[in-house]
Amino acid sequence: MKIPCPLCGPRDRREFYYYGSPDYLSPVAADADLDALDNQLFLRDNIAGQVQDLWYHEGGCAAWLKVTRNTISHAVLGAELVMGAQAAPKAAANAAPNPAAKPVSAAAKPAVKPAPRTVAKPAAQPKTPKKDA
């Protein structure tokens, strides 16, 4: 599996550390009530299909990425930088509960366009393969 790091280009997934849900991007508010806290920390949707998750480019540029991929077809649809895509939230100190921050724009512009290999075009998106019942 390759993850398209906006800074480094498509890299093997083993360069990345998988963290989990983009829910982590919303810091827990200082005065969050218990249910909200519990949901924030532990409650996750388990989606078969298109998901987003957080990956850290540990073996590369150390950028945190939000990756969009499909857990059924295994297609990796894109990745954007966490930093820069976030409307800069204040540190949670003494702030009102932060609404789940959704990134407003598409992928941040990469600083350097990765040099393409002889592969001229990206692979066509795969169709969902036939599933057994």
Partner 1 sequence: MRIDGRGLIDRAKPISFTFDGKRYQGYKGDTLASALLANGVRVVGRSFKYHRPRGVLTAGFEEPNALVEVVGTTNHTPNVRATGQEIFEGLVARSQNRWPSLRFDILAINDLATPFLGAGFYYKTFMWPRAFWEGLYEPIIRRAAGLGSLSGKHDEGQYEKSYAFCDVLVIGAGPAGIAAALTAARAGADVILCEEKAHIGGRLLGDMPQLDGKSAADWLAEAAAEMATLPNLRVMARTAVTGAYDGGVYSALERVGLHRAPRADLPRECFWRITAAQTILAAGALERPIAFENNDRPGIMLASAVQDYLNIYGVAVGQKVALLANNDGARRVARQLIQAGVEVLGILDTRSDASVVEDCPVFLNARITKTKGRHGLRHISGTHLNGEFSFDCDVLAVSGGWNPMVHLTCHMNGRPKWEASLSAFVPQADAIPNMRAVGACNGDFSTKAAFTQGAGAAAAALGDLGHTPAPFTAPDCEDAPYIITPLWAMETSGGVYARAWLDFANDVTVKDVALSAQEGFVSVEHMKRYTTQGMAPDQGKNSNIGALAVLADSTGKGIPEVGTTTYRAPYAPTSIAAMGAGGRGMGFAPQRFLTSDRLSRDRGAPMIEAGLWYRPSYFPKAGEGDWQTSCNREVGYVRSAVGVADVSTLGKIDIQGKDAAKFLDLVYANTFSTLPVGRVRYGLMLRADGYVLDDGTTARLGENHYLMTTTTAAAGLVMRHLEFVHQAYCADFDLRFISVTEAFAQFAVAGPRARVLVGSMLAAPLGDLPFMGVTTAQISGVAARVFRISFSGEEGYEIAVPTRYGEALMRDLISRAELMGGGLYGMEALNVLRIEKGFITHAEIDGRITAGDLGLGGMVSAKKDCIGKRAAQREGMVHENRQHMVGLRPLQGEAITAGAHIFAQGAALTREQSQGYLSSVGYSPQFHSYLALGFLERGRARHGETVMVVDRLRGINVRAEVCDPMFFDKSGERMRG
Residues of this chain that bind partner 1 (CB under 8 A): 1-2, 17, 19, 24-25, 27-32, 34, 37, 41, 54, 56, 58, 62-64, 74, 76, 81-84, 86, 88-89, 91-94, 117-121, 123-127, 129-132
For the bound state, the minimum distance from the C-beta of residue 10 to partner 1, rounded and expressed in Å, comes to: 9
Residue closer to partner 1, measured from CB, 76 or 107: 76
What is the full DSSP assignment across the chain?
-EEEETTTEEEEGGGSEEEE-GGGGSPPPTT--HHHHHHHHH-----SSEEEEEEE-TTTT--EEEEEEETTT--EEEEEEHHHHS--PPPSTTPPPPP-PPP-SSPPPPSSPPPP-S--SPPPPPPPPP---
For the bound state, the minimum distance from the C-beta of residue 13 to partner 1, rounded and expressed in Å, comes to: 9
For the bound state, the minimum distance from the C-beta of residue 106 to partner 1, rounded and expressed in Å, comes to: 17
